[in-house]
Amino acid sequence: MKKNYRNAFNELKKLGVPTFTRSDIDGFAISGEESNSGEWVNYWEGYKVWGSDTNPKLDAILSKHGLFAECVNPGEWGVYAL
């Protein structure tokens, strides 16, 4: 995993964001299926902040590391480089 992804992953893990790695991508993803997922990502309602469906705290951390999250499906948000 590249340094910026690793740093963001570790920072989000410390906050309790349900992150996980996948063998088919160089980076990580955020689960929409864990008990606390609704605190961080929301497929159904959205946070209505700039049209985002992710928590502004999560967005700030990802942005700091040159990353963003995008909904792949209701159960997963992929994390990508800007």
pLDDT in tens, 72-81: 887 888 999 9
* 42/62: higher pLDDT: 62
> Does an H or E element contain 30, and which?
strand 29-31
Q: What is the pLDDT of residues 4-58, one digit of tens each?
A: 999 999 999 999 999 999 888 888 999 988 888 888 887 666 544 444 578 889 9
DSSP 42-74: -SSS---BTTBSB-HHHHHHHHHTTEEEEEEET
**Which has more pLDDT, 69 or 51?**
69
Give the pLDDT of residue 51. Answer: 43
pLDDT at 15: 94
pTM of the model: 0.84
